[in-house]
Amino acid sequence: MLIEWLRHLTTPCSPRLKRMGYLKELIAIQSRHQRCRDAWAPHLEHCKRIILEATTGIPHRRAVVLGSGLLLDIPLGPLCDMFGEVVLVDILHLPAVIKRARLLANVRLVDADCSGLADATWDHVCDGRTGPLPVPVFDDSFCQDSDLIVSANLLTQLPLAPLGWVQGMGEVYSKDETRTFARAIIDHHLEFLKHQTGRVCLLSETERQILQGGEVLEVIDPLFGAALPMSGLKWNWNIAPRPEITPHIDLRFRMTGIADLKTAGGLNRKT
C-alpha cells in the first residue's frame, strides 16, 4: 500500500487524470499483477495468442493497440517484428512503458482518451452542472489506415473513472441515469470498432464473478447490458484469487477474445 501511494505521488500525470483515478487504477493493476503473477499467466497468454491470430492474412503496415496499459497482455516484440509501425494508445503511459517503447524504433505512444469523456466529465462535475451528462466522442484519426486495431481489455474500463467522478457528486443523478451514461460509453466504443476499415481484435471481460469456496455468490455485468458476439474464445481470468481481497473471497472475470470482430457476427444487445 505504501509503495503504491509513493508511486502515485511521484509518477508524472496530469492532476485531473490523477484526481479521476486513472493513475491509481494503473498502479493497482501493476501491483496486483506482481502479487498474482501465476494466476494471471493463462489469461495473459490467451490474450497474446488471440492478438497474434488477428495478425494473420492482413497487411502489416500499422497496428494500433487501444488500452495498451502496462503491455502485460500485448505480444509487443512479435508485433514490432511484424508491423512497420505499432501505435500504443492509452490515457496515460507509465514511465516503465515509455522507457520500453523508446527502445523500439517502430513503436509510437499516443496519449488519448478513447472515450473522449475525461475532460468533459471533469468540467461537468467541477462546474456543478446538473443537466444531461456529456456524451462520448473520440478523435480516432490515428486509427485511420491501420491494418489492425486491438481493443486490449479496454472496453469495460472506459466507463469506470467518468462514472466514479459523476457518482462522487452525490445523489444528483439517479442509478438509471448513471447506468445509461456508462452504457453509452460502452456502445460508443463498440460502434467505433465496428466502423474501422482494418481488422479489429477485441479482448474484454463479459462478467465479474464473486466466489466463496468455488460457489458464485454474485455476478456483476461490466458491460451494463450490452452484449458481445457469441463467437470467440472464452476463459476465466482469476484476477484476484484469495487472499488478495479477503481470505474467503475470489474475484474472477469471464473473458472473451475475438480475433476478427467483423466476421464474428452481430453485436447483440442484451438490453
Contacts with ligand SAM by CB under 6 A lie at 22, 26, 29, 67-74, 90-92, 113-115, 118, 152-154, 157-158
Query: CB of residue 33 vs ligand SAM: minimum separation in angstroms?
Result: 8
Closer to ligand SAM by Cβ: residue 161 or 260: 161
Closer to ligand SAM by Cβ: residue 152 or 163: 152
Residue nearest to ligand SAM (CB): 69
d(CA 247, CA 250): 9
Question: Is the Cβ–Cβ distance between 101 and 88 less than 8 Å?
Answer: yes
Apex 185 CA angle, 76 and 15, nearest 5 = 70
Using alpha carbons, list the distances in angstroms from residue 144 to 68, 141, 178, 263, 267: 18, 5, 31, 20, 22
- Amino acid of residue 85: E
Closer to ligand SAM by Cβ: residue 114 or 223: 114
Query: CB of residue 230 vs ligand SAM: minimum separation in angstroms?
Result: 23
d(CA 150, CA 154): 9
Query: CB of residue 164 vs ligand SAM: minimum separation in angstroms?
Result: 11
Residue 247 CB neighbour total at 10 angstroms: 7
- Give backbone dihedrals phi and psi of 30, rounded to 5 degrees, phi first: -60, -45
Rg (CA), the chain: 18
Query: CB of residue 116 vs ligand SAM: minimum separation in angstroms?
Result: 8
Closer to ligand SAM by Cβ: residue 24 or 199: 24
Closer to ligand SAM by Cβ: residue 173 or 237: 237
